[in-house]
Structure 1
Amino acid sequence: MTAAPHHPREGDRLASLRSYQVLDTGPDAALDALTGAAARLLGAPAALVALLDEDRQWFASASGLESVFGYQTRQTSREASFCAWAVATEQALVVPDASADSRFADNALVTGPEHVRAYAGAPIIGRDGLPLGALCVVDRHARQFAAAGVQALGELATSVAELLELRRLDAAAGLAPRQVLAESHELRAGIDAGQLVVHYQPVVDLASGDWRGVEALVRWDHPRRGLLAPGAFLPVAEASGLVVPLGREVLTLACTQVALWRAAPPATAGGGAAADLHVAVNLSGRQLSEPDVVDVVTDALVVSGLPAQALTLELTETSLAGTGAQVDSALARVREAGVRLALDDFGTGYASHAYLQRFQPDVVKIDRCFVAALGRSGRDDLLTGSLIDLGLQLGCEVVAEGVETAGQARALRDLGVRTAQGYLFSPPRAADDLLALLGARG
């Protein structure tokens, strides 16, 4: 038996395959649907998603396998793999009659009880351009495969690669595919049912103690699990794409609430203390990449009646990573309308200075890790102070996050910070609770 050669970049290929974290996982209905479609399109009794590991090929999905092998299995040896040839060459492989092909005539799957005769496979190319395995169809009878069918197989292999990429992102977020599917359906229903609520954390003037604004933070009022913090559902929202409608809903709710506070009579709004409140709302990278992001922002302002200058959109380095000219243009249009931009978690990423130059934010928010480090050592104080000084020198408003002690507040004020937020002033609260607290202060 002639063994297939290894891919020219076999080490990199294996590392790429393992990064997907899909080997030895359970059944996947979406992959099964693609293998079923492949079998039907080519009129074959069985189709497989075969991922080529170091010494085996593992079947991430198998449709009709028992009709060919006579038994159900999830893997075979690598040396018996037809797909290894498609991986090595990164080309579709068609074998009309394996018994007449010198590469496969004495293959154990051909000479053994499986009696494989015909094969067609297309490589599954991962995100870094390296083949992970192949989508293939097999038959126990010699046969020809039409060129159109082989082309369709290649297109389905691309769909398999896209699905595996989604699974990789799910795994990176600590999510199982079934969890994403079930929870995204539940989250979609929750959004439609109005179960999203917004809590607000005040942004305080360190000198006077007056409230300058609030940051809007989403919660899910789950009918069975109670009030859920963002970490319990935002990973699913990101993985499923529901972060777009979720973000739209939060933006509208937050703008509407703060507009109501600003317009309320002084007697019901803390003696007029809410009249000039502004609100900060986070935007995800997925939202920023949507072509209608500018319309979403302007619609929220129109519907709520909130002045544009009372809204700040908070952007993180994560949300900005990989964005291009389309996002730059959208943010420029938003700023032209009067909305302010804030760079959140400032100092925690590798490209903070690049984003300062690229987006020229109105506000930088010093991450809580730098606030917590104040007073720990001279080195920590110097680092935090340099970040604050950089923001101030560039003409940005500097907001410190995660302030928990009066000592931290004093140190920040001495470093030139005027506004801050954190549990020292108030945890995030529901709108009614926050208004009551504001009224008590008034």
Structure 2
Amino acid sequence: MNWSPTMPTAPLHPREDERLASLRSYHVLDAAPDAALDALTMAAAGALRAPTALITLVDEDRQWFASASGLEVITKRATRQAPREVSFCAWTVTGEEPLVVTDLCADARFADNALVTGPEHVRAYAGAPIIGRDGLPLGALCVLDRQTRNFEEVGVRTLNALATSVAELLELRRLDAAAGLHARQVLTESHQLRSGIDAEQLVVHYQPVVNLPTGRWEGLEALVRWKHPQRGLLAPAAFLPVAEASGLVVPLGRQVLTLACTQVALWRDAFPGVVGGAATAACATAGAEGLHVAVNLSGRQLSEPDVVDIVADALIVSGLPASALTLELTETSLAGTGAQVDTALATIRAMGVRLALDDFGTGYASHAYLQRFQPDVVKIDRCFVTALGRSSRDDLLASSLIDLGLRLGCEVIAEGVETLEQAEALSHLGVCTAQGFLFSPPRSGADIAAVIAENTWCRESMIR
């Protein structure tokens, strides 16, 4: 394809450097064909009754055909790209609005374009910009025709709506890639996960939360596992990224919340006051009736309009008192949330449910979230626990976080405690509650029930 130096080229976008950085953050240039994008180009061609439709992403010196339908000279080109200088869509990108040219030969910008004068013989063009997540155009969804023609207004509006769908799909692909997932992997595994949820293959394991002064289990953190029929018991890292990317984290989270509340309510009723065994006097008269459970809530779940009803339903179905439930929120899940989430959390707290800020200290806005949500519990992240004793700086950082939580009236729980030295150091810093492999790994519900029944879950503290 030849390009004449006298042929006008589209001006660069006013924020071209930012636009290119945004485009490249999607990691879709030079990507393999995508069936979902192809469906959108075919929809555009059908809606405007055009023989050719393209999704073009305008790079620094080329346009990349992310999808193409029709116009064999372009769609069969092995490189799936063309020089930016001949790109009609580069003009659409610069203008940031739909561009319609009914007769390319009559427009000085395109009359000498190789796609017009060459064997493609393109005569009419309509394109709508694909606007990325930061408001900058990535490229365009366009249709081409070998005949001069007027494009109906309703058709152009449809093209613009389809361009928005392209942007939304690219954003999903970007999120999938950030989670280490391929689009096809998300589709296949999300279908399997949906089947697993429907077949009740999700199971809950529990990690005890221990009172350091007494050694008694105060509560349990619920941790989901997938009992996969072919791959066995899967840890969350194996399927939660797919759940987040596909939106299945909402029904998954609802099921886990109900399962955990129901199980702990059953234990509270079944073991009201076990006496004997190896329990200390302080624990001998206290059974599982005071046991509480902590369940993680994702940002996607928080943003659901019926999140309050979901929590209320879980408590009603299980019979668990609201005071026995703690919802754990991470700074990541709270990021970007607005007034709707604030109102929902206030309503949930008014029900008597406790709120915990998980992974405390690891985010960029820990203090802001303390002020905004006023959690009942802060959980010191394991990275600060692991660093205890490593240097005076590390000890000061951990003690500052603990002191801040205590001064604000929060219960402070330390996560990831693996050694007796860590437990003793935390105790000396004022921490009364902790969890980690020193006390117990996450266990199945049957294992937890056996420990409670044998009354070996309440023993003398290891802390001196």
Q: Give TM-score, length-normalised by structure 2.
A: 0.93
What is the count of residue pairs matched by the alignment? 441
Instruction: Determine helix, strand or coil for the equivalent of 1:227.
Output: strand
Task: Give the structure 2 partner of residue 338 of structure 1.
Answer: 352
The aligned counterpart of 2:247 is 241
Superposition pairs of residues 83-122 of structure 1, within 5 angstroms: 83-122=89-128
Secondary structure in 1 matching 2:288 = coil
Q: Residues 28 and 418 of structure 1: is their aligned pair in 2 closer, same or farther, counting only changes over 3 Å?
A: same
The answer on whether the counterparts of 1:70 and 1:114 sit within 8 Å (CA) in structure 2 is: no
Counterpart pick for 2:300 among 262, 281, 286? 286
Please give the alpha-carbon distance, in whole angstroms, between the structure 2 residues aligned to 1:57 and 1:227.
46
User: Does residue 21 of the first structure (1) align with residue 35 of the second (2)?
Assistant: no
- Give runs of aligned pairs for residues 291-330 of structure 1, distance below 5 A: 291-330=305-344
The 1:252/1:79 distance shift into structure 2, 3 A limit, reads: same
- Deviation (angstroms), 1:89: 1.0
Q: Determine whether 1:430 maps to 2:444.
A: yes
2:4 is matched with: none
Given candidates 215, 218, 226, the residue that maps to 1:212 is: 218
Q: Quick one: distance in 1 between partners of 2:273 and 2:357?
A: 35
Q: How much has 1:437 moved relative to structure 2?
A: 2.7
Structure 1 unmatched ranges of 5 or more: none
1:62 maps to 68
Distance 2:389 2:449 in 1: 34
Matches of 1:90 and 1:128, distance apart in 2: 13
1:327 and 1:309 map into 2 onto residues whose CA distance is 20
Displacement after TM superposition at 1:127 (Å):
1.1
Matched, 1:397 2:416: no
Does residue 201 in structure 1 map to residue 215 in structure 2?
Answer: no
Give the counterpart of 1:37 among 40, 43, 54. 43
1:275 Cα deviation from its structure 2 partner: 2.0
Secondary structure in structure 2 of the residue aligned to 1:349: coil
Contact 1:56 1:75 survives alignment (8 Å): yes
Letter of the 1:142 partner, please give it: T
Q: Report which stretch shifted further, 299-308 or 26-35.
A: 26-35
Q: Is the 8 A contact 1:32 1:61 kept in 2?
A: yes
Q: CA RMSD in A?
A: 1.5
Name the SS for the 1:315 alignment partner. Answer: strand
Residue 416 of structure 1 is matched in structure 2 by: 430
Which position in structure 2 is the counterpart of 1:71? 76
Match of 2:392 among 369, 378, 390: 378
Paired letter, 1:122: A
Distance (whole Å) between structure 1 residues aligned to residue 378 and residue 157 of structure 2: 51
Spell out, residue by residue over 1:181-219, the C-alpha distance to the aligned partner (whole angstroms, 9 max, x if none): 111111111100001000000000111110000000001
Shift of 1:72: 4.1
Q: Which residue of 2 aligns with 1:157?
A: 163
**Structure 1 residue aligned with 2:129:** 123
The structural deviation recorded for 1:293 is 0.5
Contact 1:365 1:401 in 2 (8 A): yes
Cα pair 2:68 2:75 within 8 Å, conserved: no
Q: CA deviation at 1:70?
A: 7.4
Whether the aligned pair in 1 keeps the contact of 2:271 and 2:452 (CA below 8 Å) is: no
Give per-residue Cα distances to partners, 1:43-64, cap 9 Å, x unaligned.
0011011000011100111122
* CA drift at 1:137: 0.4
Q: Is the Cα–Cα contact under 8 Å of residues 48 and 151 in structure 2 kept in the other structure? A: yes
Deviation at 1:169, TM superposition (A): 1.0
Deviation digits for residues 378-409 of structure 1 (CA, Å, limit 9, x no counterpart): 11111101100111111111000000000000
- Counterpart-to-counterpart distance in 2, 1:170 and 1:384: 34
Residue by residue over 1:291-338, the C-alpha shift from the partner in whole angstroms, topping out at 9 and shown as x without a partner, is 110100010000000010000000010010111111111111111111
Q: Does 1:357 align with 2:360?
A: no
Segment of structure 1 superposing worse, 109-118 or 232-241:
109-118
Q: How far off is 1:31 after superposition?
A: 1.1
Amino acid at match of 1:231: A
SS of corresponding position for 2:343: helix
Q: Which amino acid aligns with 2:250?
A: V
Gaps in structure 2 of 5+ consecutive residues: 1-6, 278-283, 458-464
- Letter of the 2:412 partner, please give it: V
CA–CA separation in structure 2 for the residues paired with 1:194 and 1:213? 25
**Deviation at 1:268?**
8.3
* TM-score normalised by length of structure 1: 0.97
Q: Which amino acid is the alignment partner of residue 137 of structure 1?
A: V
Letter in 2 for 1:264: A
Whole-angstrom distance in 1 between the partners of 2:71 and 2:407: 67
Once the two structures are TM-superposed, the CA of residue 170 in structure 1 deviates from its matched residue by 1.1
Q: Name the CA shift for 1:117/1:418 in 2 (closer, same or farther; >3 Å).
A: same
**Alpha-carbon separation, structure 2, partners of 1:381 and 1:160:** 50
Q: 1:70 to 1:308 in 2, by over 3 A?
A: closer
For the Cα contact (< 8 Å) 2:303–2:341, is it kept in 1? yes
Structure 2 CA distance, aligned partners of 1:213 and 1:325?
31
Map Cα deviations across residues 50-92 of structure 1 (whole Å, 9 max, x no partner).
00001110011112232x6473451111111000100111121
Distance in structure 1 (CA, Å) of the matches to 2:453 and 2:426: 27
Aligned counterparts of 1:177 and 1:64: Cα–Cα separation in 2: 24
